[in-house]
Amino acid sequence: MKQSKIVTIERHIIEGERAHPGASGEFSALLRDLTLAFKVIHREVSKAGLVDIIGLTGKENIHGEQVKKLDAFADETVCKAMDHTGHLCIMASEEHEEALNIPDAYPKGKYVLLYDPLDGSSNIDVNITIGTVFSIYRRVSPGGKGTLDDCLQPGYKQIAAGYAIYGSSTMLIYSTGDGVHGFTLDPSIGEFLLSHENLRVPKRGKIYSINEGNYRFWDEGVKKFIKFLQEDDKSTNRPYTSRYIGSMIGDIHRTLMYGGIFMYPADQRNPNGKLRLLYEANPMSFVMEQAGGRASNGRKRILDVTPTELHQRTPLFIGSDEDVALAEEFLHGKR
Ligand code: AHM
Ligand code: MG
pTM for this prediction:
0.94
Ligand 1 pocket, residues with Cβ under 6 angstroms: 119-122, 211, 246-248, 264, 274
For residues 162 and 180, give the distance between their C-alpha atoms in angstroms, rounded to a whole number: 9
Q: What is the mean pLDDT of residues 77-102?
A: 96
Q: Is the N-terminal amide bond of 239 cis, ω within 30° of 0?
A: yes
Residue 118 near residue 163 (C-beta atoms within 8 A): no
Tens of pLDDT, residue by residue over 217-256, are 999 999 999 999 999 999 998 999 999 999 999 999 999 9
Measure Cα distances from 60 to 43, 51, 66, 67, 310 in Å.
19, 12, 5, 6, 33
Give the environment of ion ligand 2: residues with CB less than 5 A: 116, 119
Residue 30 near residue 87 (C-beta atoms within 8 A): yes
How far apart are the CA of 236 and the centre of ligand 1, in A? 30
Q: Given 3.10.20.30, 3.40.80.10, 3.30.540.10, 2.40.50.140, which CATH number is that of 9-196?
A: 3.30.540.10
Domain residue limits, the chain: 9-196, 207-331
How far apart are the CA of 139 and the centre of ligand 2, in A? 24
Closest CA to 288 of 245, 331, 243, 321: 321
Tens of pLDDT, residue by residue over 137-187, are 999 999 899 999 999 999 999 999 999 999 999 999 999 999 999 999 999
Phi, psi for 208 (deg, rounded to 5): -115, 150
Nearest-CA residue for atom 18 of ligand 1: 211
Pick from 70, 119, 133, 251 the residue to mutate for probing ligand 1's pocket: most ligand atoms within 8 Å of its CB: 119
207-331 has which fold? D-Maltodextrin-Binding Protein; domain 2 (3.40.190)
